[in-house]
Chain A
């Protein structure tokens, strides 16, 4: 049996294990380990597993994960979302659809300190949906907006998925963070536009609120101040080379904690809750990354990624056609699988293809992250939709999925723009690095 055949069998077994509900990280580690034993020899496989695990658990690159997760979780527990929403609400509230627009704005703000789309959707849903309900907003619009706007969490830095992508492909996390900013803002504007158009078509779904004076509006900006300062300090520190991403995560987490203590919005119980969630999420992410590394070493000895890359490059199709197929794979996979898991699973196989075809790895990272994240709001496993449903159980799932649909169009439009105008992604990283 050729090593390529063994590699393909390995991939098939991996897919079977995944659909048998085996934890994704475990399945990748197991197939990688057993496959490596089979292709090379048992002793090599056994020593590979201990070394890969130790090296990835203790690598400085991965230390960034728990710290940024911690920063987001403390912000989640500390009610920062509330203040962001209050500010956005005073700014936009008087317009038709203003509360939904405020939700998008607050999600964008919260994304700037939290790297997870799920946490963003969860914290924002509990704050914004009751308000929109109070002002007789259509619940489909309200819940759909918050579920979709949560996806800003992965584009606007910090972003846990971009961190992990950077680690696995050895790309600079600073550059990836910079690359997410403009697409994140663009997507935010597309969401606002979508809400505006929807309220033009059916004005009753989002009645206007009471007007606010300019003075009130200016005053409300204070609530945004701390988030802005945090973002500038943490991201600015990375971009200027003053911090490593790990240091930025640590300082960010510490500052959020300090702010929430000063504002008396943190107590021992909330702190422990944020720590418990951080520990669980970080462990989950580290296990998936480590599994992907072990699986990647197996793939490397089967030479499948290189064979595939050479084969694809030799195909009589233009590179963009191949990229189109890869995008379809992610689109499809993202519907069934957690975005992080999907990306970790495919990067060891597909990354060499991307390099061979001459696409920019930073651009590719941002595009596939946004594509797989569409899965968080599409059936059957739209995690964000379930999260929003969890906070407002009286709104049926179908209604949320329907409410998300127009927002999904905005995400698709954003993706098309990113694909055809890579400068949107690459302008900032090229400027800064």
Chain B
């Protein structure tokens, strides 16, 4: 259990760093493009690359945001319940979240494979889509992992004497 928690936390932090780096790259690339456009030589394909980096920025941060309770949730009612009941409600919602992210991981993985075999590429740079979709799939997998860790924790709290 402890090892699983350590691994998932570490992975979520690494992915979080990558997501942050993606945002910095988006900023620098777009600014450079705007400045160079002013001089008549924009960077071709900025549009596509920014979209690709945005997909990394969003998906790679999901797991870490979950661990640090960064996702907006309404805890108005649950807060009033006794602690064990709170843990029970949390384990139910965590199971549902796990189911959701399990499906997302699975389906994004399949979708990436599909894009790969169809050899779909972006318009200007002819970059393949699939590596980024695999990225989203892996990031969702890590999100599933951190949700699983929290689920186990909550279940332990429920059954604890």
Contacts and interface: CB of A to CB of B under 8 A. Distances in A.
A33 B111 contact: no
B33 interface: yes
Contacts of B151: none
A279 B20 contact: yes
Q: How large is the interface on A (under 10, 10 to 19, 20 to 34, 35 or more residues)?
A: 35 or more
Contact of B57 (A29, A282, A341): A282
A44 to B, nearest CB: 12
Contacts of A47: 107, 111
A20 B78 contact: yes
Contact of A250 (B34, B71, B97): B34
A290 to B, nearest CB: 8
Interface residues of B, number: 54
B100 A33 contact: yes
A53 B97 CA distance: 15
Contact of B108 (A50, A62, A284, A290): A50
A59 interface: yes
Q: Classify the interface of chain A: helix, strand, loop or mixed.
A: helix
A253 interface: yes
Given A21-B74, A50-B104, A57 B90 contact: no
B26 A67 contact: yes
A275 interface: yes
A23 interface: yes
Nearest to B58: A286
Contacts of A336: 74, 76
A337 B72 CA distance: 9
Interface in A4-24: 17-24
A59 B55 CA distance: 8
7 smallest beta-carbon distances between A and B, as pairs: A250-B30, A23-B71, A283-B61, A50-B107, A22-B93, A57-B55, A50-B111
Interface of A: 17-26, 29-30, 33, 46-47, 49-51, 53-54, 57-60, 62-63, 66-67, 70, 243, 246-247, 250-251, 253-254, 275-276, 278-284, 286-288, 290, 336-338, 340-341, 380-381
Interface of B: 16, 19-20, 23-24, 26-31, 33-34, 47, 50-52, 54-55, 57-59, 61-62, 64-66, 68, 70-78, 89-90, 92-93, 96-97, 99-100, 103-104, 107-108, 110-111, 132-133, 136
7 contacts: A23-B66, A26-B97, A54-B133, A63-B51, A243-B34, A254-B31, A280-B61
